[in-house]
Amino acid sequence: METSKLKDLILTFFVAVLIITSASAQIENTPLGVTSEVLKTLKVSDIVIPEGNKPIECRGLRLRRLDVVPGGKIPVHSHENRPAILSIVSGEGMDVSSYSMEDEDEEKLVTVPYATSYAEFNGIVHYAVNLSSSDTLKLITFDFLDNGSLCNGNKYAEKLELFDKLKTEENPFYINNSTHVEGAEVSTSIFYVPLSDINFPEGSTTLNERTLRTRKIKIKSGNSLPEQNYLNRPTYIYVLEGALEIQKNKFVKEIIQSGGASKLINHGNATIHNASTTQKVIYITMELWDPTEEDVL
């Protein structure tokens, strides 16, 4: 009996040691005071550009901000030719009413709150309304934009089958939500980088195998991310709250305040710090991510 108890005690001891060792390894590999949440992903291979529109590889990776007045509406528009992920960066949020090729007889309503993301692609026509009657809504869009430039010597006219059908047939969804009010929305371009200018490392995944991804990252005061290499992860950064410090190399340090943005495209090693010793920083990263790459912060 005593021998059995001794064996159980020894077994319990070794299990406890294994658990403690495993927990220690997890703590070692996780930066202290940092959390990362994936908000939205969109596989490039899932994007269907309507026939006759510019190929994705001839487009640019754009980041822009859109400001919408209190109670204002973003009129009905199409994402048939502009795949994107949007993120709410200031304000209460918005209601998005969508009409799609798959569900032509059904209008779908989605609420997108502050600090969340929403994917808009593949035969989607929609409009959006600022939920607040007192606060300006600010959102950013991360998209594959056709800016009208030539592609292999050819110019592509935009083809929007569903949008044009709704307009031609005077569908109530279009008629009741297409009015543009002057000053109700203001669009500001932040970055535009042609995909042809992005130099992916040799041997990395192709554009079609990648994923558009948005993440929300929080760093407590006095904490940092470890140094990371961004050559295989073209990234835009937008700060929601607090201030961020990016050490881009030995000589270049960038401080980004709330509402500011930075880009890490064709960029090697960089270190990201919370610039404040008293307040947390919250920011959104928008990445053209290689899913085979280890999921680093």
Structural domains for the chain: 31-40+197-289 (2.60.120.10), 49-194 (2.60.120.10)
Token pair, residue 255, equals 């401080």
Using one digit for the tens of pLDDT, what is the confidence trace for 253-262? 999 999 999 9
pLDDT at 151 over 90: yes
The rounded mean pLDDT for the chain is 89
pLDDT at 249: 87
| Average pLDDT of the residues in 88-99 | 97
- Strand bridging mode 185-194 / 60-68: antiparallel
pLDDT at 7: 47
List the beta strands (DSSP E) in 167-274. 185-194, 211-219, 228-229, 235-241, 243-247, 253-257, 261-264, 269-274
pLDDT category of residue 1 using cuts at 50, 70 and 90 = very low
pLDDT at 25 over 50: no
pLDDT at 154: 94
pLDDT at 290 over 80: yes
CA distance 124 to 117: 16
| Average pLDDT of the residues in 79-93 | 97
Question: Order of strands, edge to edge, in the sheet holding 108-113?
Answer: 73-78, 124-130, 93-100, 108-113
| Phi, then psi, of 62 in degrees rounded to 5 | -110, 145
Residue 189's nearest CA partner among 148, 151, 160, 147 is: 147
pLDDT at 103 over 50: yes
pLDDT category of residue 104 using cuts at 50, 70 and 90 = low
pLDDT at 15: 37
Using one digit for the tens of pLDDT, what is the confidence trace for 205-261? 999 999 999 999 999 999 999 999 999 999 999 999 999 999 998 889 999 999 999
b/e for 109-130, b at 16 or more Cβ within 10 A? eeebebbbbbbbbbbbbbbbbb
pLDDT at 145 over 80: yes
Q: Which of 154-168, 262-276, 283-297 has the lowest mean pLDDT?
A: 283-297
pLDDT at 29 over 70: no
